[in-house]
Structure 1
Amino acid sequence: MDANQRSRANPFGMDEECPNCPALCETRSRVVHGYGDVAADFLFVGENPGPGADETGVPFAGDEAGETFQRILQRLGLCDATSDPDRPEVVDVYLTYLTRCRHPDRPPTDEEVGNCEPFLNAEIRMINPEIIVPVGQRALEEIATEHTTKPAERFDVEADHGRTIRGRGFELVPMIEPAEQSDEQVQAWVEAFAGLMASDYRQTKGRRER
């Protein structure tokens, strides 16, 4: 971690009482901002908090889907398997979402994604990751639209699962939602990402000292 980082949870001190989406203010338990290493090479972006993240305040934590996701990171040495799954000790990883609040009955609207976009853009700018992992179709479409030259409809998370996609300043490695992956898809993604980690993946774009 960065020597100046005091907490993995919301390390950039983003607004935890955000009022920008009134409908979500009524349904959320808390605002779920990013979590992890502020100097991470690997940024994972999901669509929105699930029930576990809404309860714990930590992305990809607090429920079975989160534990499935954390097991994938553990296989790559990116998460300490002995740490509390509600507050995982991730390594060289930052976890976040397109939107920061949960609605129990529906996915986020385009307006809600737009309202949260400044949070995500700020995290990307401050972390300056090498690899962005869009988790799920919605995250892939939004990230690809912003950070590649191809239209969103050219991307399909099942077809692109584990494939390295060149972006503007980043590489994208899409992932199917962990709870929806078969054992074969988990293995394929882990093998692909392990190969990427073993390669010279860092870009020459003036990265800060680590």
Structure 2
Amino acid sequence: MSADGPDPRNPYDMDEACRNCPALVETREQVVHGYGDVAADVVVLGTEPTAGADRTGVPFTGDETGEAIQELLGGLGFSESAPESAEPALENVYLTYVTRCRHPDREATDEERRSCEGYRTAELRMINPELIVAVGQGALDALAFEYTTRSVEDLDVTAEHATTIRGRGFEILPTLPPNVATDDQWRAFREHFASELDRDYRQTKGQRRK
């Protein structure tokens, strides 16, 4: 990221004191908005903050799940930071979640996801990525209706893992969360992600920034 660019933490200045979901306000440590390069061609979208992200305030950091994602990004040239970094130096990638607050005992409700929809929609509209990595079923569900021609019921992240789904204006790469995927499944996704970058994305890298 450029040294004179916006702060990578919540660069769009979204409401860090959001109280739209009272039950989550009571359980979260903080609101976890997006983090990374606002000129990114790749967005990594998770379902909701893990305990680590709730503690650090940065998506995909602070625990084994975050370290697996950061290691993946580093191996593909998107990060120069150690996987355990709480504020990774990212280039051309943006990290975010469907819902921004964590409940330690349950997933977000449909109503809570709808309350966060405006944040996610605004980020994707402003970034206009080429690729979206959808980490987990919740992330894939959030993209299905608005951004693909397929229904939520037709998209299963296990079946779609390490494949490419054509979206409206970008491609979606679904993956099982790294703490759920087997070693073979995670390796398959890493290889598929790399092949998509080589096949399409790297051929046009930089054109949108001229």
TM-score, normalised by the number of residues in structure 1: 0.93
Structure 1: how far apart are the matches of 2:202 and 2:67?
28
Structure 2: how far apart are the matches of 1:188 and 1:197?
14
Give the aligned partner of residue 191 of structure 1.
191
Equivalenced residues, count: 208
| Aligned residues of 2:164 and 2:173 also touching (Cα < 8 A) | yes
Give the aligned partner of residue 95 of structure 1.
95
The aligned amino acid for 2:113 is V
Residue aligned with 1:199, SS: helix
| Aligned residues of 1:32 and 1:53 also touching (Cα < 8 A) | yes
Q: Which shifted more, 144-153 or 72-81?
A: 72-81
Structure 2: how far apart are the matches of 1:195 and 1:176?
18
Q: Does residue 139 of structure 2 align to residue 162 of structure 1?
A: no
| Aligned residues of 1:130 and 1:202 also touching (Cα < 8 A) | no
Structure 2: how far apart are the matches of 1:18 and 1:203?
40
The aligned amino acid for 1:176 is L
Give the aligned partner of residue 124 of structure 1.
124
Q: Supply the RMSD in Å over aligned alpha carbons.
A: 1.9
Structure 2: how far apart are the matches of 1:78 and 1:118?
27
Deviation, structure 1 residue 6: 2.6
Structure 1: how far apart are the matches of 2:188 and 2:60?
20
Q: Show CA shifts across 1:13-60 (max 9, x none).
A: 111000111111111110000000101111011111011000000001
Q: Show CA shifts across 1:78-122 (max 9, x none).
A: 222437521112221100000000111100000010000000000
Unaligned runs of 5+ in 2: none
Deviation, structure 1 residue 129: 0.3
Q: Does residue 147 of structure 2 align to residue 147 of structure 1?
A: yes
Q: Which shifted more, 112-121 or 145-154?
A: 145-154
- CA 1:104 to 1:35, structure 2 compared with 1: closer, same or farther past 3 Å? same
More helix by share: 2
Task: Detail structure 1 runs of 4+ shifted over 2 Å in the superposition.
Answer: 1-6, 81-84, 200-204, 207-210
Structure 1: how far apart are the matches of 2:2 and 2:141?
30
Deviation, structure 1 residue 199: 1.7
The aligned amino acid for 1:138 is G
Structure 2: how far apart are the matches of 1:69 and 1:113?
23
Structure 2: how far apart are the matches of 1:83 and 1:137?
24
Deviation, structure 1 residue 5: 2.2
Q: Which shifted more, 152-161 or 112-121?
A: 152-161
- CA 1:16 to 1:201, structure 2 compared with 1: closer, same or farther past 3 Å? same
Structure 2: how far apart are the matches of 1:133 and 1:144?
13
Residue aligned with 1:179, SS: coil
Q: Does residue 67 of structure 2 align to residue 59 of structure 1?
A: no
Deviation, structure 1 residue 201: 3.3
Structure 1: how far apart are the matches of 2:113 and 2:143?
12
- CA 1:75 to 1:83, structure 2 compared with 1: closer, same or farther past 3 Å? closer
The aligned amino acid for 1:32 is V
Residue aligned with 2:61, SS: coil
Residue aligned with 1:70, SS: helix
Q: Which shifted more, 183-192 or 82-91?
A: 82-91
Give the aligned partner of residue 18 of structure 2.
18
Give the aligned partner of residue 115 of structure 1.
115
Unaligned runs of 5+ in 1: none
| Aligned residues of 1:46 and 1:135 also touching (Cα < 8 A) | yes
Residue aligned with 1:200, SS: helix
